[in-house]
């Protein structure tokens, strides 16, 4: 089985495109096969959500609400009547737990409930007042994102902590042989590998919308009076980035104000990130399934707390270069 890192097992498109799951069953051809796979994934996600919701744990309830929202569009799923109750119970029981609030934010965002998502981000912020991550999720525009940066002293979205817990939870609910066969994904992987791959699709649901603040800090004419706030945001994103997206955004903002000497160092850092992402794609295309096994094993190591650090370790374990050769050009360099 070929396991695609960060968009593995076609999970994201299967669960995020419920319209495909409602295509006519009598259709034929590739589209019909995709629809059947989407239906199979949605049915499996619904089963897992129901199982998780039987727990009294706040994280289990929040994850159940998220999977239920992913499995079908609002108003059309078999769990519509249960999701609000699960979210409410999770919020009460997990009032002091960051992971619960992260999952509740994602569940509400997927369901299109902006107020509930903002409330969950606000509860996360109350638990970690200096953390930029929950503040960015509440930002309405570029100005409020920059104000959030001014009020924060660090940025820690903790995607791998969320991913580790979700892996352990999902490993207890592996697909049956019949369910896996319906996915059309070839040989069934080990439960831990499947769970790690599925869990890897969850942290991106907590990614902020950086487009407004990018426009404010890198748009034509430069940041102007916003320069100091833009610099603060870039510093926070680049100090110890935990996601590739955060680091890329930080580099873009920093580059807009950099001197030629500073720009060379920023470009070198960006090249390294892009190289490692490209090499991970190469690794994911291998037919031996080693990338999934590596992901599951390395994810269990708490010392790895960021996506780029995880990428470095995966490439090192696979004996692939972590830094680009001198003559390699990143995609943004090829366009110059």
**Range of the structural domain that residue 99 is part of:** 1-143+160-209
Q: Do the domain assignments include residue 287? A: no
* pLDDT at residue 27, as a whole number: 44
CA–CA distance from 134 to each of 105, 128, 242 (Å)?
10, 8, 14
* pTM of the predicted structure, to 2 decimals: 0.87
32 lies in some domain: yes
DSSP string, 166-217: HHHHHGGGPPPHHHHHHHT-SSPPPHHHHHHHHHTTSGGGG----HHHHHHH
The token pair that represents 147 in the structure block: 């104000």
Highest mean pLDDT among 70-84, 182-196, 238-252 belongs to: 238-252
Does residue 20 lie within any of the structural domains? yes
- Residue 225 placed within a domain: no
Taking only the tens place, the pLDDT of each residue in 275-308 is 999 999 888 887 566 667 888 899 888 899 999 9
Lowest-confidence segment of 63-77, 109-123, 159-173, 304-318 by average pLDDT: 63-77
Q: Is 157 helix (H, G, I), strand (E, B) or coil?
A: coil
> Does 332 reside within a domain?
no
Compute the 3-state secondary structure of the chain and give helix, strand, coil in percent, each to the nearest 5.
70, 0, 30
Q: With cut-offs at 50, 70 and 90, classify the pLDDT of residue 326.
A: very high
Establish if 129 belongs to a structural domain: yes
- Considering only residues 74 and 79, tell me which one the structure prediction assigns the higher pLDDT: 79
Task: Please give the tally of structural domains in the chain.
Answer: 1
Q: Which pLDDT value is given to residue 279? A: 93
**Whether 217 contacts 226, CB under 8 Å:** yes
Mean per-residue pLDDT, 194-208? 94
Averaged pLDDT of the chain: 87
**Residue 99 reports pLDDT greater than 90:** yes
Q: Among residues of the chain, what percentage have pLDDT more than 90? A: 72
Reply yes or no on whether the pLDDT at 263 is more than 90. yes
292 in any annotated domain: no
pLDDT of residue 31: 81
pLDDT of residue 14 exceeding 70: no
Out of 45-59, 84-98, 150-164, 206-220, least confident range: 206-220
Q: Is residue 63 part of a domain?
A: yes
pLDDT at site 13: 32
Can you give the pLDDT at residue 5?
A: 35
């Amino acid at each position: 089985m070929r396991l695609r890192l960060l968009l593995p097992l076609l999970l994201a498109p299967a669960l995020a495109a419920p319209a495909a799951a409602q295509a006519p069953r009598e259709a034929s051809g590739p589209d019909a096969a995709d629809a059947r796979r989407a239906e199979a994934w949605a049915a499996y996600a619904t089963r897992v959500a129901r199982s998780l919701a039987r727990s009294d744990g706040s994280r289990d309830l929040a994850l159940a609400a998220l999977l239920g929202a992913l499995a079908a569009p609002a108003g059309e799923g078999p769990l519509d009547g249960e999701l609000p109750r699960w979210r409410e119970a999770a919020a009460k029981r997990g009032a002091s737990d960051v992971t619960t609030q992260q999952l509740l934010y994602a569940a509400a965002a997927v369901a299109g409930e902006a107020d509930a998502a903002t409330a969950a981000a606000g509860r996360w912020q109350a638990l970690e007042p200096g953390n930029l991550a929950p503040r960015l999720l509440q930002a309405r525009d570029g100005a409020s994102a920059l104000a959030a940066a001014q009020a924060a002293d660090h940025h820690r979205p903790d995607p791998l902590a969320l991913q580790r817990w979700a892996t352990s939870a999902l490993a207890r609910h592996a697909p049956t042989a019949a369910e896996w066969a319906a996915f059309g994904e070839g040989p069934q992987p080990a439960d831990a590998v499947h769970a790690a791959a599925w869990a890897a699709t969850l942290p991106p649901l907590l990614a902020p919308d950086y487009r407004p603040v990018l426009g404010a800090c890198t748009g034509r004419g430069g940041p102007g009076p916003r320069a100091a706030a833009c610099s603060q945001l870039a510093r926070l994103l680049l100090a110890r980035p935990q996601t590739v997206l955060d680091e890329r955004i930080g580099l873009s903002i920093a580059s807009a104000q950099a001197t030629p000497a500073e720009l060379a160092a920023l470009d070198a850092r960006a090249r390294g990130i892009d190289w490692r992402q490209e090499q991970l794609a190469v690794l994911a295309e291998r037919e031996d399934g080693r990338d999934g096994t590596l992901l599951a094993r390395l994810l269990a190591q708490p010392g790895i707390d960021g996506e780029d650090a995880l990428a470095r370790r995966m490439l090192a374990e696979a004996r692939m270069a972590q830094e680009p050769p001198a003559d390699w050009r990143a995609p943004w360099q090829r366009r110059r």
